[in-house]
Structure 1
Amino acid sequence: MTADSIHLTSLIASRLCHDLLSPVGGMANGIELLVDETDPKMREQCIDLLAQGARRTATRLRFFRLAFGAAGGFDSQLPAAEIEELVKAQAAEGRDISVEWAVSAAELSKPAAKVLLNYALIGIDALPRGGTLAIAAEERDESYEIAVRAEGTRIAFDKDVGRSLEGEIEMNDLSAHTAPAMLVRLIAQDCGGGVQHALTPDGATGGALVLGAILPRG
């Protein structure tokens, strides 16, 4: 394992821990309240909050397992319906984001699924005030074509995320926030594919971020 791969792995782990801290912390607080609470109605509310936190944590772990991990082996095919479920659950985390899903294939290759999930994560991050996340993937004879469009009243797109997608940033300059973009680039590069992005600055009706990838099959 090279120093670069160790550094990227560490950053991905930091991102995962950061995103899991909120639901896990909420569960810990709920348990503390439950221990000292004697009122039956309040105890019931605490239990409901714990159940919500457990569901959120489980969903995020499933999302990150597919987006960052090696679930099922790198050559396996993943059900598109499961990926859709995870993307919609991630988008619903405290934000008014609607997801438009246009993936015709019943299954996606592991590289295509990873790129789509990480693009979805970047798109969700770019919509702090909510908006629309449109996801499309088409399976052609020799390639997958993936497109993710994040559109809203405000687009928050870190230029370093774009630089990571373009390969214009050194590995040592990455952060936990920009690491998923670098992972996308490395996956596409390993497959012999390519990635691109385009940003429409915020205007009177908002802005948009478009992320695209073409990944050879096989």
Structure 2
Amino acid sequence: MATNPNLTLTGPDLAALLCSRVCHDVISPVGAINNGLELLDEGGADADAMDLIRTSALNASVRLKFARLAFGASGSVGASIDTGEAERAAKDFAAAEKKTEVNWHGPRAIIAKNRVKLLLNLFLIAYGAIPRGGVIDITLENPEHDAVFTLVCKGRMMRVPPRLVELLSGTPAEAVDAHSIQPYYTVLLGEESGMAIDVVSTGEEIIFTARMAPADA
């Protein structure tokens, strides 16, 4: 059960907002596919139209596959997931955008589903913390037991996500909407997984960490 006072959404509201988030992520590439088809219908440059369609279709596919792991069921309740799937999803997500390099370190393991979801949602937050692109180094330590996940991001115009800090601090937060549901879900996953989340900015990099919380926490 969640102990953070900010985690107050009901199940239906959480599901609705997560659906809105996924729709927001895929509507742009799907719209671009439609634009490419319209260009073909109008007799526009075939090569340019097909390039737009291919690129947008790949982007939409990558985002949906990522969302399936990060937000979806990905198997039955209580199922485990191979961290190799998470690595591929994160690298494909970044490669489709072509602005951020992802380096992945640590052993491959089959671990609890919510831990994988937490890791991927932390990746999304780290990705958003460097909007102009950069590098994200992801390290998994002892993922099957006393897991520690560390994500270090570097880039131009770095910014610590204010909603994440607000949620982690437990101070009163604004109403959750489709824009803030993703950090909300990340904090909820941390509690459900028994992992404490921390974020530190050094000025040169932003470090996100999730580690197993003490038993008496």
How high is the TM-score relative to the length of structure 2?
0.84
User: Which is richer in strand?
Assistant: 1
Residue type of the alignment partner of 1:15: R
Number of corresponding residues: 206
Identity, % of aligned pairs?
A: 30
Question: Which structure 2 residue ranges, 5 or more long, are not aligned?
Answer: 1-7
- C-alpha distance 156-176 of structure 1, shift in aligned 2 (>3 A): farther
Question: Which structure 1 residue ranges, 5 or more long, are not aligned?
Answer: 202-206
Question: Distance in 2 between the 1:98 and 1:90 partners?
Answer: 10
- C-alpha distance 121-106 of structure 1, shift in aligned 2 (>3 A): same
C-alpha displacement of 1:15: 1.7
Match of 1:177 in 2: 179
Residue type of the alignment partner of 2:84: A
Offset from partner CA, 1:129-157 (integer Å, 9 cap, x none): 22110111122663221111111232123
Do 1:167 and 1:185's aligned partners in 2 also have CA atoms closer than 8 Å? Answer: no
Cα RMSD (Å): 2.2
Shift >4 Å, 4+ stretches: none
Match of 1:211 in 2: 208
Match of 2:84 in 1: 81
| 1:21 partnered with 2:21 | no
Question: Distance in 2 between the 1:191 and 1:106 partners?
Answer: 16
How high is the TM-score relative to the length of structure 1?
0.84
Offset from partner CA, 1:138-177 (integer Å, 9 cap, x none): 226632211111112321233122112344344x622323
- C-alpha distance 192-108 of structure 1, shift in aligned 2 (>3 A): closer
Q: Secondary structure at the match of 2:147?
A: strand
Q: Secondary structure at the match of 1:92?
A: helix
C-alpha displacement of 1:198: 1.2
Question: Distance in 2 between the 1:140 and 1:118 partners?
Answer: 16
Residue type of the alignment partner of 1:36: E
Do 1:145 and 1:213's aligned partners in 2 also have CA atoms closer than 8 Å? Answer: yes
Please list, as runs of the form range in 1=range in 2, the aligned pairs for 1:156-171 lying within 5 A after superposition. 156-170=159-173
Residue type of the alignment partner of 2:119: L
C-alpha displacement of 1:93: 4.0
Please list, as runs of the form range in 1=range in 2, the aligned pairs for 1:64-143 lying within 5 A after superposition. 64-139=67-142, 142-143=145-146
Question: Distance in 1 between the 2:100 and 2:31 partners?
Answer: 24
